[in-house]
Chains A and B, each alone.
Chain A
Amino acid sequence: MGSGNKAREAEKRLLKEFPMLKEIARRRPLYFEKLANTVGACAEYGERYIAPVALELDRKLEKEHDYFPWDLVNAALPYRLLSLVIPSMVGGIGGLAVLFALAMEELCSYCAGIANIFGAHALGVSPILVSGSMAHWESVLREVVEEEKRGNPVILAAAVTEPSAGTDVEEPHFLTRAKLSMEAKKVKGGYLLNGRKCFISNGSVAKYTLLCCATDRLRPLETWTTFLVESGMEGFSVPRVEEKMGQRACPAAELSFEDCFVPEENVLAFEGDGMQPGTLLILAASRAPVGAIATGIARGAYEWFLKWAQRERKGKRPIEKQVVQMALAKMRSRIQASRWAYMNAALSFDNSLGKVMRSPVTHSISLLPERVRVSNPWKRFFLSAYGKRLSEFLISASTSLEEVTEALGYASLAKALGGDTAVFVSSLALEVMGLEDCEEREWIEKAYRDAKLTQIYEGTNQLNQLTLYMTQIGGELSVELKRPLFGFSSRRVV
C-alpha cells in the first residue's frame, strides 16, 4: 500500500495518541501492523495527492459543483482505499471500524471532502456487510476489489434520507411516524421503486447504491427494506447535485425513482429488516468513523493553526502569546477526547458485530476454494431464505444485542462529540488568528466549512445524543438481532 517510512511514522503516532492500542500492539502485532500500514498509506496519499490540490479543487467545485475528481480517486487505487472495509475473503483489506476510523482521521486532516468519497463508499459497503449477504459479497464487493486492482474505480453509496424525512429514517421510534415519499411496491419477481432520496453522498457517481425504503408507507418500521440499486437501471435518475458549503469534493445528490424495477435478489436480508437490525447495525458501524472524520477535520485545523502560530513576523511569533497557547491547549484537549471517544466506540463495534468476521464459521467459509464461492449455486443459496437465515445465525451467534446496543450508544457519543470538536476547533482557530492574509487561514476556513456537516450527517447531533440516552441511560432502544434457531430477541422498540 504505502511506503515503509510512513507506516513507521504512523505506528509511532498511534502508540502515542491511543494508549489503548499499546496492549493491542503487544497481543496482536500483525493486526497492529495492518492498522499502521493503512494509516501510513493514507498519510502518503494525503501528502502526495490531496494536499497539493485540495484548496484549488474546493474553489473549482464552488463554481462547478457537479465536477467529480476522478483523477484523485484513480490515484487512490494503489492505496486500496475502496477496499478498506471489504472482507479479506473476497480480496479486500478486511478492516473494521477501528481501521476505517483511523484511515478517516488521517485522510480528513488533509481534506474532508475527498476523504468522504471513501467514507460514503464504505457506508455503501456496510449494508452488504452487516446483512451478511455473502452472495453480494462475492458479486458486488469482489467486483470493487478486482476493478480496483485493474485501475477502474467502482464506487458505492448509501441512500436513506428523503426530502421530508431525515432524522426520522435513522431511528426506529421516529420511523413509525415518518412522512415518507418513497415506496417499493412488490411485483412479480421483484419491486417497483417510486419516489426520491436526497443529500446522497456519492449518489451521482456510484455504480451501486444501497437504498432503504418502506414497502408499505403506512407500516414503515415493519416494512423498511434495503435494496441494491445499480446505476443505469430503468427509471433511476440523478436529477440534481447539491451546492454545499463544504466537503464539496464528495457530491451530495438527489436520486429519483420512477417505476424502477429491482429484482428480488437485490433485497438484502429479508423484507422488513431495513431498520431493525439493518440501519441500527450500520449506524453502530459508521458513527465512530464519522467521529473520526470530524476529529480529522479538527486535527487539520489545529495543525494549520499551529503552523501559523509558529511563523515569525517582525521577530515575533503568535505562539509567544498566552492567548494563543491557551487556544492550542483547548484545541488539543478536545481533539484528544474525540479521538479516544471514536476509538472506544470503534473497538466496541469490532468486539461485538465485528466478531462475525473472526468467527470459526466465517473463517471456514473463507477457506473454501474461490471457485466454489463465486459459483452460481453458492450465490443462489445465500440469496435464498435458508442462506439468509444462516447469515442471521452467524451474526446472532457471534455477538449479543447488549454488545451491539452498547456499541451503537458509544458510536453516537463519539459522532456527536467529534462534530462539536471539529466546529469548536476550526472556529476558535479563526477567532484567534483573525483575518490575516495567509494560506493557513484559507485551510482553516475550509475546515470550518467542512466541519459543520459533521454535526448534521449520519443523524444530527441532537439525534445522536438522543440515541445515546435511549441506549445507555433510558434503556428505550436496543438493536434487535434475529435468532433464527431460537426465535427473535425481545422487541424493545415500540
Chain B
Amino acid sequence: MFEAFDSILDEEGRLLVETVREFRHKRIDEIARKIDEDPQADEWKVSWHEAEEIGLLRALLGEEKGGEGISLPSLCHALCELARSQAGFTAALLSNNISLLALSCAGCNDEIKRALESKGILAFVLDKEQDIPVFSPGASVSEFIVVLSFEDGKVGFLESNSGSIERSAGEPMGLRASRPAWIRVCDFAPSGKLGEEELARVLSALLLGVASIALGISINAFEKAHSYASQRYQGGDIIIRHEQIRLMLAEMLCGIENVRASISSASCVTEHHQMLTISRAAKVFACEHAVKCATDGVQIHGGYGYMRDYGMEVLMRDAKYLQVYPFTPSEELLTVPGLPEA
C-alpha cells in the first residue's frame, strides 16, 4: 500500500528510496529492537557505515562540497522509508545531515572538509536558550557537535570533548537508537552565521525530516495493526471486521495520507517564510498523528502490543519524543509566521 512512489520524486529520488528500502529490509529490520535496547550494540556502528555507503549521511550537502546533492523531497522519502523500521536510528542520520546543511549554509567549508575527512559522526544542537541542556540525536556517539543559535543564527562547530560542551547521556524514554545525549553549550566561538533565509531553510529541513520520521512511525504502526487485526480472532470473527477496530485503522490511514500530502507540499515550497510555516504545520500534524497511530496500534494489539516482543511499544516511545523535538507543539504553533505579534 505504501510502496508506490510519490509523483514529486525524480529518478534520483526513486533510486534512493529503493536503495534505502533494500537497506531497511536487509539490515535495519533485524537489528531494530537490539539497537533500541542496547546502547553498546556493535550493530549500530556497522549500520551507520552502511548508511554512509548509500549516501544517507551527507544527502543534502552539495556535490561540490563532497555531499550527495539530494533534494529535500527525496531525503524526506528516504527518511520515512527507513523510519518504518527504526525511527531512532533515522533521527541520528537526520541530525548528521542537518549539521552539514547548517555548516554549508553558514559557509563553513573548512569545517565541512574537516568533518568529512575525519568521517566522524555529527550531532545537531538547536540552542534555543543559553545554558539549558538540549536533546540531540547522535550526540552520545558523535565526534562533532554543530550548534545553531536559534536567537541569532550563529553556527558553531565544536569537538564533542571540547570544554564548551557538557554532555549528559540521561535516561531517554524514546529515540534511544539515535544514541542521543543532552548537550549544554556553555560558550562557543561561531564559525559562521545564517541569515534569515538560510535559518528558515535549515529549520524547515529539520522539521520536515522529523515529520518524515514521524510518518514512518505512523505507517509502521498502521501496517502492524492492520496485519494483526486481520489475523486476531475475537468476538466470533477476525477483529478487523469489528467496526471499532475498522474505525481506528481508517483514522490512521486517513491521517497518513494527509501527512504525506503536507510533507510533500512543504518540501517543494521555495519561498522561505512560506516553507517554514508549512514545515511547522506538517511537523506538528505528522507527530501528533504518529503518537495517535502508535497508541492506537498498541491498543489494537491488546496485551501483545504492550510487550516488547511485538515492536509496537517502541513506536509510542519514539513518537512522543519526535513530537517535542526540537520544539514542543505549543512552541511550534505560537511561533508560526503570519500570526499577529504578541
Binding site for B on A (CB under 8 A): 59, 62, 161, 164-168, 173-174, 177, 179, 198-199, 242-246, 252, 313-314, 323, 423, 427, 430-437, 442, 445, 448-449, 452-453, 455-457, 460-462
Contacts and interface: CB of A to CB of B under 8 A. Distances in A.
A174 B308 contact: no
B291 A427 contact: yes
B7 to A, nearest CB: 34
A183 B320 CA distance: 42
B168 A437 contact: yes
Contacts of A431: 320, 323-324, 328-330
A430 B132 contact: no
Contacts of B331: 434
13 contacts: A164-B233, A173-B235, A179-B233, A242-B307, A243-B308, A243-B309, A245-B308, A245-B313, A245-B317, A252-B303, A431-B329, A448-B316, A449-B173
A437 B324 contact: no
A323 B329 CA distance: 11
Given A456-B302, A456-B303, A174 B171 contact: no
B303 A166 contact: yes
Nearest to A466: B244
B299 interface: yes
Contacts of A442: 171, 173
A246 B327 CA distance: 26
A199 to B, nearest CB: 4
Interface in B225-276: 233-236, 244-245
Nearest to B128: A434
Contacts of A423: 295
Contacts of B291: 427
Nearest to A247: B306
Nearest to A161: B303
B135 interface: yes
Interface in B104-151: 129, 131-135
A245 B234 contact: no
Contacts of B103: none
Nearest to B331: A434
Nearest to A439: B171
Contacts of B324: 430-431, 433-435
Contacts of B131: 314
B299 A323 contact: no
A198 B37 CA distance: 24
Interface centre among A242, A436, A437 (most CB of B within 10 A): A437
A432 B334 CA distance: 13
Nearest to A165: B234
Contact of A166 (B37, B135, B302, B325): B302
A246 B313 CA distance: 10
Contacts of A199: 303
B132 A313 contact: yes
Given A174-B234, A449-B173, A244 B307 contact: yes
Contacts of B309: 242-243
B302 A460 contact: yes
Contact of B235 (A59, A174, A252, A437): A174
Nearest to A246: B306
A448 B313 CA distance: 11
Interface string B180-197: 001000000000000000
Interface in B276-317: 291, 295, 298-299, 302-303, 305-309, 313, 316-317
A161 B307 CA distance: 15
Contact of A437 (B129, B135, B321): B135
A430 B320 CA distance: 8
B170 interface: yes
Given A313-B132, A430-B323, A449-B316, 18 more contacts: A243-B307, A245-B306, A245-B316, A252-B303, A314-B131, A427-B320, A431-B324, A434-B331, A435-B182, A435-B325, A437-B135, A448-B320, A452-B316, A456-B298, A456-B303, A456-B306, A460-B299, A460-B302
Contacts of B129: 314
Nearest to B174: A445
B307 A449 contact: no
A461 B300 CA distance: 11
Interface centre among B134, B291, B307 (most CB of A within 10 A): B307
Contacts of A455: 299
B143 to A, nearest CB: 22
